[in-house]
């Protein structure tokens, strides 16, 4: 049994939510919280960048038991695309069935502005990395059709609609970072069918599918991507604009959990 499974004791969350840049305040909405710092969980990476906490909060959201992970490690911090593998393996071992991933992202569509929330329908991996490289065994040939579970997507759309919030939908492009994209790269993402761009989520989706978890994912749009209407994104802007959208994201997530 993993340390996480042991620490959860009688609590039996079936859903885990990973919070993206500046969305950490969503963890404060969890009722009756049991807080476990990542440092106390073997293999959990302690985030090194600002805007990310490093704690797991187990408690009630939307009246249902959930595990909320405030903070993630990104492959750009170490070069290790599988940096979240121990976390996702521990969640699976602790009985988690559904993983909800959230992130901050830049928009590739001028009509999808800062403050918008986008449901990820599919992704494009432009990083050249894959968290399963070097792993052996047939289970690593993971099908990625419907990686973002259609039934969970329907539930997320219903949750947003119940909260009278508009949910955009689209394709998330993974760019390794930590530098932002060039305007030419952004034009390429637009041409190949991207809707938003960011530096996370895709490796976690691949790992989660590898472990048989169902995945849903939401992006908070913090900016127009580089070059669109003269945009020049920054980490400061990501943190500031992400925090502004955290309330709406929290409402959608609570409804989504309530409907489980």
Active site residues: 21, 52, 74, 76-77, 104, 199-200, 223, 235
125 binds ligand HPA (CB under 6 A): no
Instruction: Select 98 or 219, whichever has its Cβ closest to ligand HPA.
Output: 219
Closest residue to ligand HPA: CB criterion: 106
Least Å distance, CB 256 to ligand HPA, is 22
- Contact region with ligand HPA (CB under 6 A), list: 11-19, 133-141, 155-163, 195-203: 195-203
The DSSP secondary structure of 120-184, one letter per residue, reads: EEEEEE-SS--TTTT--SGGGS---TT-B-HHHHHHHHHHHHHTT--EEEEEEEE---SSPPPHH
Least Å distance, CB 105 to ligand HPA, is 5
Distance CA 147, CA 105 (A): 19
Distance CA 22, CA 239 (A): 5
For residue 107, the cross-strand partners are 196, 224
106 binds ligand HPA (CB under 6 A): yes
104 binds ligand HPA (CB under 6 A): yes
Q: What is the CA radius of gyration of the chain?
A: 17
Least Å distance, CB 235 to ligand HPA, is 8
Least Å distance, CB 194 to ligand HPA, is 11
- Contact region with ligand HPA (CB under 6 A), list: 5-13, 116-124, 196-204, 209-217: 196-204
Distance CA 23, CA 19 (A): 6
Distance CA 195, CA 122 (A): 10
Which residue from 17, 87, 96, 105 is in contact with ligand HPA, where contact means CB under 6 A?
105
Q: What are the distances in angstroms from CA 146 to CA 31, 214, 217?
A: 32, 10, 12
Which residue from 238, 243, 249, 257 is in contact with ligand HPA, where contact means CB under 6 A?
238
Q: Quick check: helix, strand or coil at residue 114? A: coil
Least Å distance, CB 107 to ligand HPA, is 8
Instruction: Select 213 or 224, whichever has its Cβ closest to ligand HPA.
Output: 224
- How many separate helices (H) and strands (E) can be counted in the chain? 7, 9
Distance CA 194, CA 173 (A): 6
Instruction: Select 202 or 257, whichever has its Cβ closest to ligand HPA.
Output: 202
Site residues, ligand HPA (CB under 6 A): 104-106, 175, 180-181, 197-199, 222-223, 225, 233, 238
């Amino acid at each position: 049994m993993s340390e996480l499974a042991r620490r959860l004791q009688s609590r039996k969350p079936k859903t885990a939510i990973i919070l993206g840049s500046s969305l950490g305040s969503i963890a404060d909405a969890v009722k009756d919280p049991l807080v476990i710092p990542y440092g106390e969980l073997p293999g959990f990476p302690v985030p090194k960048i600002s805007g990310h906490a490093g704690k797991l909060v187990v408690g009630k959201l939307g009246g249902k038991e959930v595990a909320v992970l405030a903070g993630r490690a990104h492959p750009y911090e170490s070069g290790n695309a599988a940096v979240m593998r121990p976390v996702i393996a521990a969640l699976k071992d602790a009985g988690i069935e559904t993983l909800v991933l959230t992130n901050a992202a830049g928009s590739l569509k001028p009509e999808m502005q800062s403050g918008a929330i986008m449901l990820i329908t599919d992704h494009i991996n432009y990083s050249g990395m894959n968290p399963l490289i070097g792993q052996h065994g047939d289970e690593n040939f993971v099908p990625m059709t419907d990686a973002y579970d259609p039934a969970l997507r329907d539930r997320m759309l219903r949750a947003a609609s119940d909260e009278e919030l508009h949910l955009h939908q689209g394709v998330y492009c993974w760019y390794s970072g930590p530098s932002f994209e060039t305007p030419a790269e952004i034009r390429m993402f637009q041409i190949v069918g991207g809707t938003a761009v960011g530096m996370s989520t895709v490796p976690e989706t691949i790992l989660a599918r590898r472990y048989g978890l169902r995945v849903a994912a939401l992006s908070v749009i913090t900016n127009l991507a580089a070059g669109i209407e003269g945009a020049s994104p920054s980490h400061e802007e990501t943190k500031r604009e992400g925090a502004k959208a955290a309330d709406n994201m929290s409402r959608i997530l609570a409804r989504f959990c309530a409907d489980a």
